[in-house]
Amino acid sequence: MADESVTQRIESLVAEEHALRSREEGDASDVDALTADKSRLDAIQVELDQCWDLLRQRRARRAAGTDPDTAEARDADTVEGFLQ
């Protein structure tokens, strides 16, 4: 996946996250909708972490003079285990 594709996916996920957070205010009385929104927001956060990690890997490989296309997305458990 090229840097531009990863960046576009990040932008798409951020837009969806913002839409869900805005909708959350209107769903305050609908427990099922809030639960579904929370579940999707959690999934978005994980995918965003994976995308950012992949983008960082690609940039690091490019900076090191190696092929950025050899970078691979890491599984959710790995990226969620990183220390901030």
Q: How far, in Å, CA of 38 to CA of 20, rounded?
A: 9
User: Where along the chain do its domains lie?
Assistant: 3-76
Give the DSSP per-residue string, 8-48.
HHHHHHHHHHHHHHHHHHHTTT-HHHHHHHHHHHHHHHHHH
Q: What is the pLDDT of residue 77?
A: 92
Q: HSE on the CB side for 45, CA within 13 Å?
A: 10
Reported for 34-38, long-range contacts at CB under 8 A and 24+ positions apart, including other chains, are none
Digitized pLDDT (tens) for each residue of the chain, 84 residues in all: 789 999 999 999 999 999 998 887 776 677 888 888 899 999 999 999 999 999 999 999 999 999 999 999 999 999 998 876
Helix (H) or strand (E) holding 55: helix 31-63
| pTM of the model as a whole | 0.87
